[in-house]
């Protein structure tokens, strides 16, 4: 089926060329990082994780969100999602690929990465995260590819895929829960030491992931013959609205606990993020933009008249997506390190090389996504030709 990705319009090839160019820039910047060390990034002794790990965390959420399509379709027989279930699975594949790459580019000694397997360490959450992520990647590749292959031949998916589909549902929840546990179990990081972390992760994932999926569906409708159908788009948009509401609600719970208890170290990171601390205001603009976008997005998505307006819808979804990205792909990780364990402040801003590498990884993910979607759509086109021809 992969050969279907090899023929396409000029626009398709131009897009692929842009991605390849970005990948090339990212890769050559990575070589520089490989030789000189992570010193070329903005990370420091105090803020020892930055953009890379934050993108990893955010994208685990996007990957997990495939279940928001799978659950209604497979468990509740919501047929309208039949067409997009494969798009959700392929989005998960591309996201997990990016997650793995973001971890990889963050390693100080990438050639030793296999030490994680050579010395398996069950008391490290990272060990479990690796297991659940690779399992999830495999599940989605197998499920997506065999279902599509079967569809092409006009058969229902083989029966052995069914149990995998059911396993993939709790598995998706597990990848984001385990990822939250990377942070939520550390004794000295008050911003992360919260029982609601995994729940927050899932809520923001179930908002950002489906939001991206709908945006992709709207794009595909313009660029190809694929139409997800109005009803499934509306259903997904509702999921986004309520997941994002839950996400904002959970965040407000954190604010209450920190500020009503008035425990300094619980308040400090939130203060830093939204108001700045001792004149350090690096993320204040981002965080307030996120807050405004979140409320605007939720408002537009809950209100039926704006949600149903397909000219407004993409903006509402983009607002939610960007808000979730700032919250998790920037604020959450960096905020956990500021102030440092001694109560001192070192700020963080990514460097240009760090941004290029990040864009490079995103381009690899987009390329994987493009190829997989191209194949999926070509198979569908073939089918409808056969049906009508």
Residues at the contact surface with other proteins, assessed by CB under 8 A: 36-39, 43-46, 48-49, 103, 106-110, 112-113, 115-116, 118-119, 121, 123-127, 130, 182-183, 186-189, 264-265, 336-337, 340-344, 346
Q: Are 293 and 319 in contact (CB under 8 A)?
A: yes
* Least separation in angstroms between CB 192 and other proteins: 8
Query: Judged by CB, which is closer to other proteins: 45, or 76?
Result: 45
Can you give the chain as a three-state secondary structure string? CHHHHHCCCHHHHHHHHHHHHHHHHHHHHHHHHHHHCHHHCCCCCCCCCCHHHHHHHHHHHHHHCCHHHHHHHHHCCCHHHHHCHHHHHHHHHHHHHHHHHHHHHHCCCHHHCCHHHHCCCCCCHHHHHHHHHHHHHHHHHHHHHHHHHHHHHCCCCCCCHHHHHHHHHHHHHHHHHHHHHHHHCCCCCCCCCCCCHHHHHHHHHHHHHHHHHHHHHHHHHHHCCCCCCHHHHHHHHHHHHHHHHHHHHHHHHHHHHHHHHCCHHHHHHHHHHHHCECCECCCHHHHHHHHHHHHHHHHHHHCHHHHHCCCCHHHHHHHHHHHHHHHHHHHHHHHHCCCCCCCCCCCCCCCHHHHHHHHHHHHHHHHHHHHHHHHHHHHHHHHHHHHHC
* Closer CB to other proteins, 1 or 186, in the complex: 186
| Complex with other proteins: residue 39 or 170, whichever CB lies closer | 39
CB of 168: closest distance to other proteins in angstroms? 25
Report the residue number, 6 or 114, with the smaller CB distance to other proteins: 114
Cβ proximity to other proteins, 54 vs 248, nearer residue: 54
Least distance to other proteins, CB of residue 322, Å: 26
Minimum separation from the CB atom of position 134 to other proteins (A): 14
Q: Which is nearer to other proteins, 170 or 188 (CB)?
A: 188
User: Least separation, in Å, of the C-beta of 176 and other proteins?
Assistant: 18
Q: Which is nearer to other proteins, 15 or 181 (CB)?
A: 181
Q: How far is the CB of 139 from other proteins (least distance, A)?
A: 22
Instruction: Tell me how far, at minimum, the Cβ of 46 lies from other proteins, in Å.
Output: 7
Closest CB to other proteins among residues 65, 179:
179
Q: Supply the minimum distance, in Å, between the C-beta of residue 127 and other proteins.
A: 5
């Amino acid at each position: 089926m992969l050969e279907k990705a090899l023929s396409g319009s000029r626009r398709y090839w131009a897009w692929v060329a842009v991605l390849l160019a970005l990948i090339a820039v990212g890769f050559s910047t990575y070589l520089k990082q490989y030789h000189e060390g992570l010193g070329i990034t903005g990370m420091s002794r105090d803020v020892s994780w930055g953009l890379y790990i934050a993108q990893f965390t955010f994208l685990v959420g996007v990957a997990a969100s495939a279940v928001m399509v799978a659950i209604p379709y497979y468990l509740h027989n919501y047929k309208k999602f039949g067409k997009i279930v494969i798009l959700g699975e392929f989005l998960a594949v591309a996201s997990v690929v990016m997650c793995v790459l973001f971890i990889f580019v963050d390693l100080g000694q990438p050639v030793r990465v296999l030490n994680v397997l050579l010395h398996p360490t069950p008391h490290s959450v990272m060990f479990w995260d690796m297991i659940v992520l690779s399992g999830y990647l495999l599940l989605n590749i197998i499920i997506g590819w065999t279902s599509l292959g079967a569809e092409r031949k006009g058969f229902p998916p083989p029966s052995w895929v069914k149990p995998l589909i059911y396993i993939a549902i709790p598995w998706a929840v597990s990848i984001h829960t385990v990822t939250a546990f990377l942070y939520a179990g550390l004794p000295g990081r008050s911003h992360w030491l919260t029982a609601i972390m995994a729940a927050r992760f899932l809520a923001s994932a179930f908002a950002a992931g489906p939001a991206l999926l709908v945006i992709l569906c709207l794009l595909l409708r313009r660029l190809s013959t694929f139409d997800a159908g109005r009803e499934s788009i509306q259903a997904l948009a509702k999921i986004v609205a309520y997941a994002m509401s839950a996400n904002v609600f959970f965040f407000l719970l954190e604010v209450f606990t920190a500020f009503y208890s008035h425990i300094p170290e619980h308040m400090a990171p939130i203060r830093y993020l939204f108001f700045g601390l001792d004149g350090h205001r690096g993320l204040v603009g981002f965080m307030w933009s996120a807050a405004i976008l979140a409320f605007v997005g939720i408002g537009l998505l809950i209100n039926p008249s704006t949600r149903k307006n397909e000219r407004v819808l993409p903006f509402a979804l983009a607002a939610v997506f960007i808000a979730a990205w700032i919250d998790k792909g920037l604020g959450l990780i960096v905020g956990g390190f500021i102030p440092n364990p001694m109560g001192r402040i070192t700020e963080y801003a990514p460097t240009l090389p760090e941004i290029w590498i990040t864009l490079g990884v995103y381009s690899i993910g987009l390329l994987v996504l493009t190829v997989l979607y191209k194949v999926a759509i070509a198979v569908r086109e073939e089918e409808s030709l056969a049906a009508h021809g």
